[in-house]
């Protein structure tokens, strides 16, 4: 048996208010809240109050609203398209509501649903686009929570994009009806015009739409694809950027690294094709050359592709090779930054990466840089006081510590280590550079490990972390026991 469809007791509509009077009766905080809401429209705002709070008086002066300095009378609301009763006095609000209904004007009485013809929604404003969320007065806080989620999902430039679309409507009517026209508008709102406008260029968005129009005309060729190199952040899905989330929701194909959690991948469009292309130590599902070729192939086939990379694409993500491949093939692309793991690890430790009077610089590196015969430049920076963030450094912890100590960095230099930074499963360890080699023997650490070294680390919060020295002592004791045996 099919489920019964819930019936709305308040049907949502959009009422034309341009150049028409909307009247608010009241002079306090409730009237001010309604005035601020209505200021998002092109209505002529009229406020009736014989006594008025200073904040509302200042708002009227700053926003050009009309104040009617008089005690309420029914004649003062005549000609209004809407009326708000916001006096805070139940009897007066009821009188305003009764008068408005008698005059054929829809009315809202603040916090008095029984006196209302309509309810004010929680509003997401991307004029001329608007999203209104209502709960029929049952849950204003819930409406605000939903509004906040929708607000995060929508591009700040959506209104400008809709205005640009309106300027093309008449021209697009020349395209064949049906699939061709629908495909044009889909690409318009999700493709190059939207992307270029998000980057701040209305002129480029107009040019991109014009080029699309030429391609969409009979004999104009096929639509072009696009690749977004997107930073997935350190792992926690709520650290994904808003732009990254929007692109995931628009993607036809998502290529993701091995370190990107399923919770982040699942934030993409449900029907998007998902292809694992991750490379972990000792396990490469695809070579970098194959990944480059796949990105180009998918884009040339007209697909919108997201290349989802752990952390930030430009920090040890080999994005340079992928960008060069797309430039060589003439494929359009963009880069969306992500929260790199060093920042997440520092946040987990409440650790200042720079500290006034201690260090004013930092280095991102991998421990594998120390495998060569010569000491890399960053090691010298560490000795002069820079904070060093070492990515993927567990298996070479002894080399990192040994070479830095040999180069002159004190064995007592503070060290912080985080496994699975930003995730609930994270583990934190603290100690000194002399303790760092004990990491290599930690078979219990199977997640990505970030190591931060430097004098600024001493300012971290170590309350919820384990000392590296404890494991170091266990290893030493086990070694002595083995020798006696």
Whole-angstrom Cα distance, residue 122 to residue 141?
9
Average pLDDT for 160-181: 87
| pLDDT score for 42 | 94
Residue 93 among the catalytic residues: no
The residue written with tokens 């971290």 in the block is 460
pLDDT tens for 125-136 read 999 999 999 988
pLDDT at residue 3, as a whole number: 53
Separation between Cα atoms, residue 97 and residue 35, nearest integer Å: 18
pLDDT of residue 73: 96
Least confident range of 167-171, 243-247, 250-254, 282-286:
282-286
Alpha helices in 64-155 (DSSP H): 90-102, 140-153
Range name among 290-304, 305-319, 333-347, 369-383 with the lowest pLDDT average: 369-383
pLDDT in tens, 269-304: 888 999 999 765 555 568 999 999 999 999 988 888
Give the active site residue among 98, 151, 279, 455: 279
| Segment among 47-51, 306-310, 470-474 with least mean pLDDT | 470-474
Q: DSSP label at 4? A: P
Nearest to 218 by CA among 259, 177, 170: 177
Q: What values do phi and psi take at 276, rounded to 5?
A: -75, 125
Q: Which whole number is the average pLDDT over 403-408?
A: 84
pLDDT tens, residue by residue, 95-113? 999 999 999 999 999 999 8
Instruction: Please give the pLDDT value at position 1.
Output: 45
257 carries an active-site annotation: yes
- Report the range out of 208-222, 305-319, 385-399 with the highest average pLDDT: 305-319
Q: In Å, how far are 32, 33, 66, 310, 375 from 28, measured between CA atoms?
A: 6, 9, 15, 51, 69
Give whole-number Cα distances, 159 to 125, 128, 166, 197, in Å. 8, 6, 11, 11
Question: Of these residues, 93, 99, 252, 257, which one is catalytic?
Answer: 257
Q: Beta strands of 98-168 (E only): which ranges?
A: 106-109, 122-126, 129-133
pLDDT higher than threshold 80 for residue 484: no
What's the longest Cα–Cα distance across the chain? 103
Instruction: In whole angstroms, give the CA distance from residue 339 to residue 317.
Output: 13
pLDDT single digits (tens) 21-34? 999 999 999 999 99
- Report the pLDDT averaged over residues 233-253: 91
**Which residues are within 8 A (CB) of 270 and not within 5 positions of it... i.e. 6 or more apart?**
none
Query: How many angstroms separate the CA atoms of 181 and 296, rounded?
Result: 26
């Amino acid at each position: 048996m099919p489920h019964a469809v819930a019936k709305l007791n308040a049907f949502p509509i959009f009422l034309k208010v341009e150049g028409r009077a909307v009247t608010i009766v009241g002079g306090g905080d409730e009237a001010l809240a309604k005035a601020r809401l209505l200021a998002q429209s092109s209505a002529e705002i009229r406020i009736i109050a014989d006594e008025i709070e200073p904040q509302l008086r200042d708002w009227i002066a700053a926003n050009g609203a009309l104040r009617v300095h008089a005690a309420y009378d029914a004649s003062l609301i005549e000609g209004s398209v809407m009326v708000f009763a916001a006096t805070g006095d139940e009897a007066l609000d009821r009188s305003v509501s009764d008068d408005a209904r008698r005059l054929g004007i829809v009315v809202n009485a603040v916090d008095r649903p029984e006196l209302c013809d309509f309810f004010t929604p929680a509003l997401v404003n991307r004029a001329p686009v608007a999203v209104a969320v209502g709960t029929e007065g049952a849950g204003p806080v819930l409406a605000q929570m939903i509004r906040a989620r929708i607000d995060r999902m929508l591009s700040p430039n959506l209104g400008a994009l809709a205005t640009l679309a309106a300027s093309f409507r008449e021209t697009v009517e020349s395209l064949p009806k049906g699939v061709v026209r629908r495909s044009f508008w889909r690409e318009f709102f999700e493709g190059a015009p939207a992307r270029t406008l998000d980057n701040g260029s209305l002129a480029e968005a107009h040019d991109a739409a014009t080029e699309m129009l030429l391609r969409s005309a009979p004999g104009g060729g096929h639509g072009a694809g696009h690749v977004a190199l997107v930073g997935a952040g350190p792992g926690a899905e709520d650290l994904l950027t808003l732009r990254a989330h929007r692109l995931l929701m628009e993607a036809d194909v998502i290529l993701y690294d091995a370190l990107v959690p399923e919770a982040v991948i699942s934030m993409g469009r449900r029907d998007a094709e998902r292809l694992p292309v991750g490379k972990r130590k000792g396990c490469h599902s695809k070579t970098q050359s194959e990944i480059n070729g796949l990105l180009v192939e998918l884009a040339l086939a007209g697909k919108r592709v997201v290349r989802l990379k752990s952390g930030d694409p430009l920090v040890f993500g080999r994005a340079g090779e992928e960008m060069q491949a797309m430039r060589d093939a003439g494929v359009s692309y963009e880069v969306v930054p992500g929260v790199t793991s060093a920042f997440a690890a520092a946040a987990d430790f409440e650790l200042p990466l720079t500290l006034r009077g201690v260090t004013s610089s930092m280095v991102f590196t991998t421990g594998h840089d120390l495998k060569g015969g010569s000491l890399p430049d960053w090691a010298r920076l560490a000795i002069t006081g820079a904070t060093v963030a070492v990515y993927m450094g567990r298996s070479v912890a002894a080399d990192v510590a040994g070479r830095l100590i040999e180069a002159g960095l004190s064995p007592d230099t503070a060290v912080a280590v985080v496994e699975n930074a930003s995730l609930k499963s994270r583990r934190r360890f603290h100690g000194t550079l002399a303790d760092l080699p004990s990491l290599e023997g930690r078979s219990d650490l199977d997640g990505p490990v970030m190591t931060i070294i430097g004098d600024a680390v001493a300012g971290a919060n170590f309350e919820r972390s384990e000392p590296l020295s404890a494991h170091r002592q266990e290893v030493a004791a086990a070694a002595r026991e083995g020798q006696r045996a």
